Amino acid sequence: MPGAPVVSFFSEPGSYRHIRLEVEGEIAWIKVAVDEDGGLVPGYDLKLNSYDLGVDIELNDAVQRLRFEHPQVRAVVITSALDKVFCAGANIGMLATSDHWWKVNFCKFTNETRGAIEDATGHSGQTYIAAVNGPAAGGGYELALACQEIILVDDGSSAVSLPEVPLLAVLPGTGGLTRVVDKRKVRKDLADVFATRTEGVRGQTALDWGLVDWVAPPSRFAALVRERAEAAVAASPRLAGGPPVKLTPLRREVTGERISYPNVSADLDRAARLVRVTVRGPSGPPPADAAGMHELGADFWPLAVTRELDDLILWLRTNEVELGTWVIRTEGDAAAVLAHERLIGQHQDSDWLAPEISHFFKRTLKRLDATSRSLIALIEPGSCFAGPLAELAFACDRQYMLDGLREEDEAAGRAPAALWLSAANFGAFPMANGLSRLASRFWGDPGHLSKLELEAGRPIGAREALDLGLVTFAPDDIDFDDEVRIALEERASLSPDALTGMEANHRFTGPETIETKIFGRLTAWQNWIFTRPNASGPDGALRRYGTGQSAVFDRKRA
C-alpha cells in the first residue's frame, strides 16, 4: 500500500499496543483495547476496536505464546477492554486506501490467525471463548466465530453482524460466510438474511438462529463467562509435562539481498524475481529425552527451525511481493532430522511440548501451502529432505532431483541425493483439506500411497524417486542446472495472477473443508471483488464509506 513499511511479524507482550494478555492460572484473557492512533500505516484511525495488520500480529503472537509459555492454560477468553463495543472489524479506512496486494495479504494472515485459534481449541486443549460485551461487526464477529463458544451480552443494543455486503460491497472474507453455515450450522436462508442485514441480530434471536451459544443480561454476563471458562478447563485434554518454553526474540539479520537466521536463510535475486531458500538440518543428535527438549527450549532444533521458517514466509509474503518464485533447498544430515522426529514422536502423548511443536510445524506448512508464490524444490547431494523436511518438498509445485554427482559434489565427498520417507509424511502434518501432502499428490490412488508406506525409513535415490512419483524430474548432472534454469526463467515470464490461480487450484485436491473453502473459494471471490469498481473504484463502497455519500454501482451481473 502507499507508504507501506517493512513489516516484522515478531511481537511480544511487552510491546503490545492493542491487546492485553492476562493469565489467571488455567484461564487466560485476551482483552482487545486497540490504540486509535496505533495504525501500522498513517492515514486512518483504529476506532471502536477496529483492526489492521498490526493488531492481528499481536493477536497471533498472544495465541502462540499461550501454547508455549503458558502450558497450564486450558481456557482463553477473548473480550473487549472498551465499554459498549467488542470489535468493529477490519478498519475500513485501511482497506479503502490499501493496494490490492496489501488487502489480500492482510486477509490471508488474519484468516491464518483465526485458524490458529481454532487449532489451539481443537488440538492443544486451550478452548477459546468469545465474551462479546458489545457490538461485534464484520471482522469483529468473525473473531468471535473462530472461538469455540460465543457469549453475547443481552443489553438491548449489542448485536452480532456481518454488514460487509450491504455497507461495503465486499464479503465477510475472514471466514465469516463459511463459518456461519459450515461451523455453526446456521440455516442458509437465515444466513442470507443475516449477511444482508446492516444492523445485525441481537439477544434471543441471535441465540435462536445459532449465531451465538449463550446470552446473558449485563448483571449476569461476567459470571456466565467465568462459568463457561471453568467448564472448558474441566473438560480440557491438555497434557501435562515439562516447564514453559520462552519464545525468545528471533535472530534475524536482513540486508538488501539476504535474510538469514541460524537455521534458515533466503537469498534474494531481484533480477530473476526469485528467492533461494535454504533450510539447514540439526547440527547434531537430539537430546536424550523430553527434559532435554525443555532445557533447550526455543533452541531445540525442530522448534527453532519452525519459528524461523514461519517468520521468513510472512516476511517474504508481505515485504517482497515481486519475488514470485521461491526455490527451496535443504542441507544437512538426514539421519539427524529423523532422530529429532523420533524423539518428538515418542512424547506425543506424554509431554505437552512435543505435540505443540508438531502442530506449529503443521501450521507453518499450511502457511506455505496458502502462499501465492511458485514453489520449486531442488533435491541435490547434501540435501536432507527427510521426514518432516520432505514435507517442504511435497508442498512445492515441482521437485527437481539431481541424478548423480557434479564434479564439485564428488570433490566434497557428498553422496548422491536421496529422499527419506517417514511417519511424518503419512498424516502427521495434514493440509487444509485434511489429507497428507502425499495423499493429495496421489489423490484417487490409495494403493500407491500404501506402497509408499513400505518405502519409509530408507534412502530413495533419484531414479527410484522418479519412478515412485515423488519428484517431477530427475535430470543427470549434465542437464540438471540447465533444466532448472529454464524452468525458473519460464516461471518468471508468466502472469503472476494466472500462476496464483493455477497453483491454488492444483495444491488442494480432494475433499473440501471449512479451511479450503476459506482459503480457496471465499478468498478467491473476495480477491476478485476487491478489484471491482463497485467496491474499490472512486465511487465504490469502500471509498465512499463514512462520507455520507452512497456508492455508485455498476448494476450488471458478471
Domains in the chain, please, with CATH? 13-235 (3.90.226.10), 254-507 (3.90.226.10), 514-544 (no CATH)
Nearest to 281 by CA among 344, 331, 327: 331
User: How far apart (Å, rounded) are the C-alpha atoms in residues 159 and 340?
Assistant: 49
What would the pLDDT profile of 21-56 be if each residue is shown by its tens digit?
999 999 999 999 999 999 999 999 999 999 999 999
> What band does 558 get if pLDDT is binned at 50, 70 and 90?
confident
Which pLDDT score is estimated for 2? 54
Is the separation of the CB atoms in 202 and 159 below 8 Å? yes
| Model confidence pLDDT, tens digit, residues 125-134 | 999 999 999 9
Q: What is the mean pLDDT of residues 381-387?
A: 98
d(CA 89, CA 107): 12
pLDDT of residue 31: 98
The pLDDT value recorded for residue 557 is 85
Bridge-based pairing of strands 419-420 and 127-132 is unpaired
What per-residue confidence (pLDDT) applies to 3? 56
Instruction: Identify the bridge partners of residue 269 per DSSP, sorted by sequence position.
Output: 274
Closest of 481, 456, 183, 494 to residue 334, by C-alpha: 456
pLDDT of residue 395: 98
**Per-residue pLDDT at 4:** 67
Output the pLDDT for position 392: 98
| Integer CA distances (angstroms), 46 to 51, 54, 74, 285, in order | 6, 11, 31, 49
pTM of the model as a whole: 0.95
- The residue behind cell 527453532 is 304
Q: Per-residue pLDDT for 371 more than 80?
A: yes
Mean pLDDT of 81-88: 96
Sorting pLDDT into bands at 50, 70 and 90, what band is 470? very high
Whether pLDDT at 1 is above 60: no
pLDDT of residue 5: 81
Instruction: Give the mean pLDDT of 475-497.
Output: 96
Nearest to 334 by CA among 459, 163, 227, 157: 459
Q: Dump pLDDT digits (tens) for 278-297.
A: 999 999 999 999 999 999 99
242-264 residue pLDDT tens: 999 999 999 999 999 999 999 99
Percent of the chain with pLDDT over 70: 99
CA atoms in the 13 A half-sphere facing the CB of 231: 9
Q: Which of 351, 352, 293, 434 is nearest to 125 (CA)?
A: 352
| Strand pairing category for 459-460 and 149-153 | unpaired
CB within 8 Å of 473: residues ≥ 6 apart? 398, 399, 400, 401, 466, 483
**How many Cβ atoms from other residues are within 10 Å of residue 521's Cβ?**
13
